[in-house]
Amino acid sequence: MRIDIGNLLKQRGQTLERSVQADVEPLDVGGEQVVFEGPVRLDVRLHNAGGRLWADVKAHGRIRASCARCLKPVERALEFSYSEAFRRPDQDPLDDEGVRESVFEGDEIDLSEGFREQLLLALPMRQLCREDCRGLCPICGADLNEGDCGCRPNDVDPRLAPLAELADLLRRRDGQE
């Protein structure tokens, strides 16, 4: 993901637009695998601000994962944008902690590292098939988006059984039973 900036460096105030593609390996996000459908496209606008370069990047990709609640496959667009500054090694660093700044040498900048960092920030921690997905019934495993499965709400979830026993014990200790 390198861009030749030889010409851009010649004149202050100049801009350059380029599109580059990034192949992204499947990522583990919060224990779930997120797969990228094809490469992620980066539309990059570079600006020569007198020695320092600014890159405004818009990234577009498609991801595939499983819904964190009902496990159905989810496929959707992933879009995000960010800015990154680039300077030569002999220039003073930018005095702004909110902006990522990388150092470049020669006539090329490399967007890979900044892109990777921003990609991880842009990915939601959990993928959902829809915001109000009702998930699976903890008792019978039915998909609750397809209707009620008929399980009674007071059927104790086996994972909560120890709590129910404790409550029972406390009730008896208090002589309420």
Q: Would you tell me which residues interact with Zn ion (CB under 5 A)? A: 67, 69-70, 129, 133, 137, 139-140, 142, 149, 151
- Minimum CB separation of residue 28 from Zn ion in Å reads 20
Give the residue with the Cβ less far from Zn ion, 25 or 131: 131
Give the residue with the Cβ less far from Zn ion, 45 or 72: 72
- Minimum CB separation of residue 128 from Zn ion in Å reads 6
Give the residue with the Cβ less far from Zn ion, 70 or 119: 70
Compute CA distances 174 → 112, 166, 171, 177, whole Å. 64, 12, 5, 8
Selection from 159, 143, 161 nearest residue 151 by Cα? 143
Give the residue with the Cβ less far from Zn ion, 20 or 137: 137
Q: Are 47 and 53 in contact, with CB atoms under 8 Å apart?
A: yes
Burial class of 160 by CB neighbour count within 10 A (0 to 12, 13 to 18, 19+): exposed
The β-bridge relationship of strands 73-87 and 100-103 is parallel
Report helix, strand and coil shares of the chain as percent, to nearest 5. Answer: 20, 40, 45
- Minimum CB separation of residue 133 from Zn ion in Å reads 3
- Minimum CB separation of residue 68 from Zn ion in Å reads 7
